[in-house]
Amino acid sequence: MEKTWRIGELARSTGLSVRTLRHYDEIGLLRPARRTESGYRLYGPEDVLRLQRILSLRSLGLPLSEVARCLDDPEFTALRVVELHAERVREELRIKGALLERLELVAERLRSSGGSSPAELVQTAMEVIEISERLERYYTPGQREYLEKRARELGRERIRRVEEEWPRLIEEVRAEMEAGTDPRSERVRELARRWKKLVEEFTGGDEGISRSLGRMWGEEEEIHGHDTARMREMISYISRAEASEDKP
């Protein structure tokens, strides 16, 4: 019989996490050849070969969406892979240049702030770097300009209140989900309304920005200390509540 690997075995042999392999399965990038009667994933030799190709393409810096395109398009040549990598490097150089400008601004602000502790200053700088890099990676220049304008319109105080509300809302949603509350219940529907309102505070209802936001949560493994796999489960739960709004 052909050799197969369970997800834990494959994770250990490749150095990937089980969570990453599950994510690849969820987005259709690496589906196991079959499953046991109890639902355990079983990966065959062809799956392992595909995973090796995924890792090779990821090592070139390609995002998961481009990796999938490379693997599934039979006319996608090695030349095109190299061209994509070159494009990625050029984009990274541009991003690094923009990040350098932001870091210089942060450095200037930190020099002029005498009241903050060293730990607070370092934390502020790291958060600015993380946010800047992700904005550059997932949002177009036009979208970034819109988001900056949106932030000015909301004002610092409103942004602060929204940032304080998110952790509370996430915990409430997690509690209902873990308790097994039906997403069609009025309690979860109300949480979904609050969730939607907070997202729209950020996106302004712009569908393109919403898609970019979704892609970021789909491709990253952790954002602002949140496990994205767990967050995707909550987003799915909230989506079911939203979908039930127009149903009896």
Mean pLDDT of 106-126: 59
Q: In the prediction, which pLDDT does 114 show?
A: 59
Q: Does domain 5-72 have CATH number 3.40.50.2000?
A: no
Half-sphere exposure of 91 (CA within 13 A, CB side): 17
* pLDDT tens figures, 207-241: 888 888 888 878 777 776 677 888 888 889 999 99
Mean pLDDT of 93-106: 65
Least confident of 31-35, 58-62, 103-107, 117-121: 117-121
For residues 202 and 144, give the distance between their C-alpha atoms in angstroms, rounded to a whole number: 12
> For residue 186, what pLDDT band results from cuts at 50, 70 and 90?
very high
Helices 186-203 and 207-219: angle between axes, nearest 10 degrees: 110
Contact 173, 234 (CB under 8 A): yes
Which run of H or of E encompasses 222? strand 222-223
For residues 74 and 67, give the distance between their C-alpha atoms in angstroms, rounded to a whole number: 13
Q: Is the pLDDT of residue 245 over 70?
A: yes
Mean pLDDT of 15-27: 89
Q: How far is CA 11 from CA 7, 49, 121, 129, 204, in A?
A: 6, 14, 38, 30, 40
Could you state, in order of their start, the residue ranges of all structural domains in the chain?
5-72, 150-248
Q: Is the pLDDT of residue 106 over 70?
A: no
* pLDDT tens figures, 120-151: 555 555 555 566 666 777 777 777 777 777 87
Q: In the prediction, which pLDDT does 194 show?
A: 92
CA-closest candidate to residue 34, choices 11, 4, 10: 4
Token pair recorded at residue 231: 């967050």
- For residues 189 and 130, the model is more confident at 189
Q: In the prediction, which pLDDT does 187 show?
A: 92
* pLDDT tens figures, 190-205: 999 999 988 888 888 8
